[in-house]
Amino acid sequence: MNGPWPGGGTLEGAGVLITGGASGIGAAAARRLAAAGAKVAVVDVAAGPAQDVAAEVGGYALVGDVADPAVMPRLVAQAEALFGRLDLVFLNAGVVAHQSGTSELDLADYRKIVGVNVDHVVYGTSAAVPALRRAGGGTIIATASLGGLVPIPSSPLYTLTKHAVVGYVRAAGAALADDGIRMCALCPGFANTRLITDRMDQFADFPMLSAEDVADAMYTMLDRGQPGEAWYVQPGRDPGPYGFRGVPGPIGGVRPPRLTSR
């Protein structure tokens, strides 16, 4: 691999925005991309941790609640102004559910998980697309989950949100490909991040990914990922696109073109 962009281009000077960038997968991605020469905007609702990661990678901290429909347009505009362009938007922020959502429903908790895990991906995409068009094209990666490809019976609401992200990316990836904008979904299995810190006893005998494992998979996706793909990331396996066997592609026979340059 000569570089993380299709065609082997480098990330030197690329403008990158990462949501949920103050910890876990987002922070690992910020370090990985900055080490490759990218200019990184670290977005998080937690100002202090965002500033710490931004200082570490020589980037910028941007603070906001990504579930607020007014926030993602502001953050994208700020990042574009800082860097002069945007090339990669990593919509990585996410939360877990604290209820099943089947027999009983805590509406506030439900709205929070849908707002962060689903709405922010839509808000972020609609805000990012004009900026990426101005840059001549680029990439959007949304963090979904292995739970976006297969159900997690212990967490129907989390499964709901991650399936929604995968479906949105598969359709939007095909729709945006003609603009030179590649959109993919990253679908890691259980990763050792703060999202499951209070439940680590449940994963004592379960193979776990590190945040760095997922960031490495994201970096590989930058080189090889195609529009609309959903990549699984599992311990002991090379990451790659999920096959969706027996499931048709975009209605109308639209097949996203292969991107050959940044």
Helix or strand (DSSP H, E) at 42: strand 39-44
Assess contact for 176 and 227: CB atoms under 8 A: yes
d(CA 164, CA 158): 10
Which amino acid appears at position 148 of this protein?
Answer: G
Catalytic residues: 158
Residue 191 DSSP code: B
CA distance 55 to 136: 29
From first CA to last CA, the distance across the chain in angstroms is 15
How many whole angstroms from its chain centre is CA 13?
Answer: 20
3-state secondary structure of 15: strand
